[in-house]
Structure 1
Amino acid sequence: MGIRFGGDYNPEHWPEEVWAEDLALMKAAHVSMVTAGIFSWAKVEPRPGEWDFGWFDRVMDGLAGAGIEVCLATMTASPPPWLSQAHPEILPEGPDGQRRWPGARQHFCPSSPVFRAHAVRLVEQVAARYADHPALALWHVGNEFGCHTRQCFCDVSAEHFRSWLRERYGSVAALNDAWSTSFWSQAYGDFAQVLPPRNAPTFANPAQQLDYLRFSDAALRECYLAERAVLTRLAPGVPVTTNLMPQHKPVDAFGWAPSMDVMALDFYQDPHVPDDHVRAAYVFDLMRSAREGQPWLLLEQAPGAVNWRPRNGPKPPGAMRLWSWQAVAQGADAVLFFQWRQSLGGAEKFHSAMVPHGGTDTRIFREVCALGRELAALPGIEGSRSRASVALLADWQSWWALELDSRPSTALDHSRIALDHYRPLFEAGVACDVVPPGRELSGYRMVVVPNLYLLTDRDAARLAAYVDGGGQLVVSFFSGIVDACDRVRPGGYPGALRELLGLRVTEFWPLAEGRSVAVGDGGPTAAGRGRQAGRAYAGRADLWSEEIEVAGAEVVARFLDGELAGRPAVTRHDHGRGSAWYVGTRLEPALMRALLDDVRAAAGVAPVLPGLPPGVQAAVREGAGGRYVFLLNHGGRAVQVTLPEPLRDAWTPRAAAVTRVTLAARGVAVLTGLQRAGGGGAAE
């Protein structure tokens, strides 16, 4: 059927006479899938136990008759007013003890057995009624878990947390050890004494905070799994998913991936951020990598402006097409929007839609129809996959621990640090997977670790084995510091990575806000290891620095001024058949690019396509339908791309193959015929 195309469909916002027009317009726009029912609970169950599915039957039947598939929601994302009125105990509480009231959405405590019971009862009704419906293609559980209620601190959650701790630790003695409760006289005599990390006079126990983040993620996942169990029982064989959010700290995408039949994402690029496509690329690669290369679904994006940023700029002409094809190029098998028809009332009435307030005679609707035609004209992309020889490691456990309070610096931002390391690879045109540290790494020529403040012994051993086997590893500052219980590893930093990196960090020197230091070449021997022998590393660094003592590593670059002048800033250590590089500061972008280019050269990693103009992204997907080469011009000017071999325009397969392609500003080309494997393989 090709790449699925469509959006969130909320017919309950409109009188039924509009529904027939919707179906006709969907056909004109080549819509092939909609998500339906996300916020329909109050309408299908207007009073406790009274069901009214007749109107939704007509919606489903109409979509089936139009040949449009439905990603059917379980309708549990927003409880109806009668439920919170009858059971106010389902409402969440913040760490300040204040209740969060109805009137918006997601006003439920994830641990509430009352909420879960009502949600499961609703899902049983929905699944039993539509399990065999011809429109049903996919189940959509809840909506954006943890978007608004990230954690609940009520008494129900407290008791659930204690149960979770009993299962995790088994005894109070083990809990006290894990939480280092001898500090500040916090030792517990019974699990009943344990509370969530509510507002306290000063810093809460960091291990307690870390475990509550783990627990809160688990509580949300339990809600998902309870609904999934009903769906798989009543509708076996129908895939189940939920829409995750990008770089969403409360929900561990890698932890959720095994229970999702296909990864699904909501992503809203910001037109006011010129390089937001780089953040998109990182998130798309993470989604593709979460289930080891399986295609994923873009379930929400905006055709124009959103309504929830301080300043909501529209997408300029061509941006919606470009960013949609970027998702496809990086593994998406569906491109859907929020929403189909723009609401006239409610909190999202100024959020753009495929059918805007202005109707069909609008730029947005014309661009929607053009994109739908393009996607429909290229069947065969769906199911195809990408390959990468570089991996960037990301870990939610470490993220949670890194950004707690009482650290050497509160300026360490996991997402920002990740992008600082991803960007040079993206700009070099290298395909990259984003994977957890527990993933098998031996298939990658190069692995980049932006930060793993929390690192388990097992994952540290994986990194060592990877380098021993011949891999090129890049590790950045403040990594390997604590174990899974947020306890500092004795013997000096970076803990479990000292031997692998061939160095010892004796003291952290976080830099003051706005301050930078000069970094320069560490010597001709080290520089000569790179792609360009004798390269002179020269530039500036900010945010962080460390006092490093080498213990077998060679110095690649040094701090040239400040308190650490003359001390190592970047090192390299040969270990087994590979090498481990260490970066003890945040290098400015050009310097980071130079360093990673040299590591790539040592690893033998080439870009997807050589010689791309700045701002042009290339990606390759391969499958039963053939090999597709995507060229995406994120720049504001037309550019010409020289191809390594003749390729054909995928939309005009009878056209002659060409070796040059002109891309307009925000232009897209989809080509076929590339004979050699893409994906940033070995350098030639």
Structure 2
Amino acid sequence: MPHRLTTHNRALRTPGIAYGGDYNPEQWPEHVWAEDMRLMREAGVTMVSVGIFSWALLEPSEGRYDFSRMDRVLDLLHDNGIAADVATPTAAPPAWFFRAHPGALPVDRDGRTLWPGSRQTFCPSSPAYRQAALRIAEAIGERYAAHPALAMWHVHNEYGCHNSACYCDTSAAAFRTWLRARYDDDLQALNHAWGTTFWSQWYHSWEEILPPRATGADPNPTHQLDWRRFCSDELLSLYTAERDVLLRAAPGVPATTNFMVMPTFDALDYWRWAPASDIVSNDHYLMYDDPEPEIDIALSGDLTRSLGGGRPWLLMEHSTGAVNWQHVNRAKRPGEMYRNALAHVARGADGIAFFQWRAARAGAEQWHSAMLPHAGTDSVIWRDVVRLGADLKALAEVRGSTTDAQVAVVWDWEARWALELRCQPSGELRFQQLVRDWYAPLWRAGVAVDFVRPGDLGDGRYRLVLVPSLYLVRDEHAERLAGFVEQGGTLAVGFHSGAVDENCHVRLGGYPGAFRDVLGVRSDEVFPLLLGESLALTGDVPPGATATLWSERVRLDGAEAVARFADGPLAGVPAVTRNRHGAGSAWYLATRPEPGTLAALLDRVRREAGVREVRAAPPGVEVVRRRGDDAGYLFLIDHAGAGAQVAADGLELLTRKPVNGSVTVPAGGVAVVREPLP
């Protein structure tokens, strides 16, 4: 019996590590389908997503369905032993829908209507869209609930990718309804939360409230923050409505929708979304200008796993090579696709899929790579795809295993939204980059990491909690973090954290606001740095240590200074501090140290907290361990290309060779060792 991927009663029951991609047979003549089946079997494909963008063919006119093509495709898949992740096609409404319902088109913040011709050109608050989406979802659910190929429901596709916000009058009315619920129909409470006495923004009627459309100056921060919350919730309500329709048709079949835990997307609060999925799934693409994309893969994988409470997850999309939507669509280097895929498995993925199976000849994504490229089977990509399928089969026993971590990194979408609003002390503050700054040294050291919400610290599981950036924090969450330290934990907090409450109101009395007491410091003024400007640091830091982006006038209020600014207007002022608080300790970084200095500081912090690396390895070798019921699985991935010897004992699963004392990691390759549990 396969391990379950979810704590719900609904679980994906395909064996081993699922492998496949988006399958769009409607883009090809039917005689091609037989070849698809043969090549899928050759590649080791076990599950494909079907129907994602087929609404116009499945429902050629309102209420009239044609499932003949989908019937034949699902029958073919089943006959060839390939499971189907059956999608609702609601990310791309057909042309007839917009002719009948032009009011469902989205409107941008400047008041321009966005027209059909791509995908996700609908208003999330449109009643006509919701009705049509639920109707096609119900028809698909009833048609395929009992089909033997069905393994999972794939609801929509990448919610909010292109229409995370609509500013039309329908959305405005929905926003007001959402606000009335949030503030218990108390308009005075909203005025207080939004601080509307500033700039004469006081509201005397709910009908006066609009979305934060384009205006002459900067909009109210809390207005914008509530708008972001509303937009995320509005799309979530569409997902749960479609999901419920499908689950009524097939109560035992799991449902998911593909998240986008990537640097380019921040529209949805996935902490709120994750509990609505039987299996958390994610899409991830490398950014062409990222010098170390393997770090982003790891961060994304750890965050996706954490969204599901530590349970395994599914990678629903990544690329075999270049994508089609970036400024430069860089091809992957030799071996990179293989390492990417197994890095996701190392971080908890129990399924690996690509967009898409066969590279398209036409359309906006015709230059997006695929499992079967334009060149066909006589290609490097195809040979890598076949190799990956075989090696995923060899890793079947890894399925269902989890990850043990003693370090938690706090991640909060609301804090991210608030930090990146205009009118901050610095316009260079980027939440994901600040988090990655702190995550990268842990990745290099081979330290296991979970991500957590500010108020969910694992009930004693973690020795160390890192807060790289938490500009916005609720009182109760700040208290939880302080309590963690009081009980013996180690906390490290980055600059400009704790500054505002959940309404974006500045916490008075000095910075870092909600964290002053636990950190034992108080700042009375911040001094952001200009681009290219740096400050020297002195104290218990490496020689030549510098910092950028931020500084502030810190006064010790119980804490000790670990490092100080050596020059600039704050020369002699503490830059890094440590405070004993209860049975634990709390660190504050009042600046952004350059990478080497930050790594040294975080290495000291984690060692003092008693956190050790998973396994010592040479630089450039990623080390991750998954834990099963009866064994551990040590993943070693060589990104440096030099190969390595790493201490291990057990069985190397990809070669099936015993390991006694050490394992050889091939240059640019991967080793996975089954080890006895400690």
The TM-score by the shorter chain falls in which range?
Answer: over 0.9
Does residue 137 (structure 1) correspond to residue 151 (structure 2)? The answer is yes
Change (3 A) 1:273 1:536: closer
* SS of corresponding position for 1:317: coil
Percent identity of the aligned residues?
Answer: 49
Identify the match of residue 250 of structure 1 among 267, 275, 296. Answer: 267
Measure how far apart 1:649 and its partner are.
1.2
- Alignment match, 2:326: 309
Does residue 556 (structure 1) correspond to residue 562 (structure 2)? The answer is yes
Residue pairs, 1:656-675, within 5 angstroms? 656-675=658-677
Does residue 6 (structure 1) correspond to residue 39 (structure 2)? The answer is no
- Alignment match, 1:377: 394
Measure how far apart 1:597 and its partner are.
0.6
Identify the match of residue 53 of structure 2 among 29, 39, 52. Answer: 39
Distance, in Å, in 1 between the alignment partners of 2:289 and 2:601 is 30
Distance, in Å, in 2 between the alignment partners of 1:420 and 1:16 is 50
* SS of corresponding position for 1:323: helix
Measure how far apart 1:652 and its partner are.
4.2
Distance, in Å, in 1 between the alignment partners of 2:232 and 2:175 is 11
What TM-score do the two structures reach when normalised by structure 2? 0.96
Asked whether the 8 Å contact 1:501–1:572 carries over to 2, the reply is: yes
Identify the match of residue 241 of structure 1 among 256, 259, 277. Answer: 256
- Alignment match, 2:375: 358
Distance, in Å, in 1 between the alignment partners of 2:613 and 2:544 is 24
Asked whether the 8 Å contact 1:556–1:571 carries over to 2, the reply is: yes
Asked whether the 8 Å contact 1:243–1:265 carries over to 2, the reply is: yes
- Alignment match, 1:488: 506
Does residue 466 (structure 1) correspond to residue 484 (structure 2)? The answer is yes
- Alignment match, 1:638: 642
Deviations 1:304-335 (A, max 9, x none): 11111111121122111111000000000000
Letter in 2 for 1:434: F
- Alignment match, 1:680: none
Letter in 1 for 2:138: E
Distance, in Å, in 2 between the alignment partners of 1:656 and 1:83 is 60
Asked whether the 8 Å contact 1:478–1:494 carries over to 2, the reply is: yes
Distance, in Å, in 1 between the alignment partners of 2:41 and 2:155 is 26
Letter in 2 for 1:656: P
Measure how far apart 1:58 and its partner are.
0.5
Measure how far apart 1:673 and its partner are.
1.9
Asked whether the 8 Å contact 2:261–2:304 carries over to 1, the reply is: no
- Alignment match, 1:232: 247
- Alignment match, 2:189: 174
Does residue 82 (structure 1) correspond to residue 96 (structure 2)? The answer is yes
Distance, in Å, in 2 between the alignment partners of 1:172 and 1:593 is 48
Change (3 A) 1:675 1:374: same
* SS of corresponding position for 1:2: coil
Distance, in Å, in 2 between the alignment partners of 1:366 and 1:615 is 25
Distance, in Å, in 2 between the alignment partners of 1:646 and 1:291 is 31
Letter in 2 for 1:603: A
Deviations 1:524-552 (A, max 9, x none): xxx5xxxxxxx656500001111101100
Measure how far apart 1:674 and its partner are.
4.0
Letter in 1 for 2:332: K
- Alignment match, 2:9: none
Does residue 479 (structure 1) correspond to residue 523 (structure 2)? The answer is no
* SS of corresponding position for 1:454: coil
Identify the match of residue 647 of structure 1 among 650, 658, 661. Answer: 650
Distance, in Å, in 1 between the alignment partners of 2:528 and 2:667 is 41
- Alignment match, 1:524: none
Measure how far apart 1:145 and its partner are.
0.8
Measure how far apart 1:646 and its partner are.
2.4
Letter in 1 for 2:517: E
- Alignment match, 2:10: none
Change (3 A) 1:420 1:536: closer
Does residue 608 (structure 1) correspond to residue 614 (structure 2)? The answer is yes
Asked whether the 8 Å contact 2:564–2:574 carries over to 1, the reply is: yes
Letter in 2 for 1:198: R
Identify the match of residue 590 of structure 1 among 590, 596, 601. Answer: 596
- Alignment match, 1:530: none
Deviations 1:384-404 (A, max 9, x none): 101100010010011111111
Distance, in Å, in 1 between the alignment partners of 2:331 and 2:131 is 41
Does residue 211 (structure 1) correspond to residue 213 (structure 2)? The answer is no
Letter in 2 for 1:171: D
Distance, in Å, in 2 between the alignment partners of 1:625 and 1:68 is 29
Distance, in Å, in 1 between the alignment partners of 2:293 and 2:58 is 39
Distance, in Å, in 2 between the alignment partners of 1:641 and 1:370 is 23
* SS of corresponding position for 2:627: strand
Letter in 2 for 1:132: A
Distance, in Å, in 2 between the alignment partners of 1:482 and 1:217 is 21
Asked whether the 8 Å contact 1:385–1:622 carries over to 2, the reply is: yes
Deviations 1:227-275 (A, max 9, x none): 0111121110211111111242101111101101111111112465331
- Alignment match, 2:631: 626
Deviations 1:205-243 (A, max 9, x none): 111001000001111111101101111211102111111
Distance, in Å, in 2 between the alignment partners of 1:356 and 1:39 is 20
* SS of corresponding position for 1:656: strand
Distance, in Å, in 2 between the alignment partners of 1:148 and 1:117 is 20
Distance, in Å, in 1 between the alignment partners of 2:543 and 2:562 is 8
Asked whether the 8 Å contact 1:354–1:368 carries over to 2, the reply is: yes
- Alignment match, 2:446: 429
- Alignment match, 2:572: 566
Is 246-255 or 129-138 further displaced after alignment?
246-255
Measure how far apart 1:639 and its partner are.
2.5
Asked whether the 8 Å contact 1:640–1:660 carries over to 2, the reply is: no
Structure 2, gaps ≥5 residues long: 1-14
Distance, in Å, in 1 between the alignment partners of 2:481 and 2:490 is 10
Distance, in Å, in 1 between the alignment partners of 2:499 and 2:238 is 33
Identify the match of residue 162 of structure 2 among 148, 172, 175. Answer: 148
Letter in 1 for 2:323: V
Residue pairs, 1:323-338, within 5 angstroms? 323-338=340-355
Paired residues, number: 660
Distance, in Å, in 2 between the alignment partners of 1:440 and 1:63 is 44
Distance, in Å, in 2 between the alignment partners of 1:270 and 1:157 is 32
Measure how far apart 1:648 and its partner are.
2.0
Deviations 1:544-573 (A, max 9, x none): 111101100000000000000000000000
Measure how far apart 1:657 and its partner are.
2.3
Measure how far apart 1:428 and its partner are.
1.1
What TM-score do the two structures reach when normalised by structure 1? 0.95
Deviations 1:188-218 (A, max 9, x none): 0010100000011101111100100000111
Distance, in Å, in 2 between the alignment partners of 1:40 and 1:504 is 58
Does residue 48 (structure 1) correspond to residue 81 (structure 2)? The answer is no
Asked whether the 8 Å contact 1:613–1:639 carries over to 2, the reply is: no
Distance, in Å, in 1 between the alignment partners of 2:623 and 2:187 is 54
* SS of corresponding position for 2:658: coil
* SS of corresponding position for 1:143: coil
- Alignment match, 1:162: 176
Structure 1, gaps ≥5 residues long: 522-526, 528-534, 677-684
4+ residue segments displaced more than 4 Å: 535-538
Asked whether the 8 Å contact 1:537–1:557 carries over to 2, the reply is: no
- Alignment match, 1:390: 407
Distance, in Å, in 2 between the alignment partners of 1:42 and 1:176 is 45
Is 271-280 or 11-20 further displaced after alignment?
271-280
Does residue 194 (structure 1) correspond to residue 177 (structure 2)? The answer is no
Deviations 1:422-465 (A, max 9, x none): 01111111010111112134210101001111010010010011
Letter in 2 for 1:619: V
Distance, in Å, in 1 between the alignment partners of 2:135 and 2:654 is 48
Measure how far apart 1:659 and its partner are.
2.2
- Alignment match, 1:448: 466
Asked whether the 8 Å contact 2:630–2:677 carries over to 1, the reply is: no
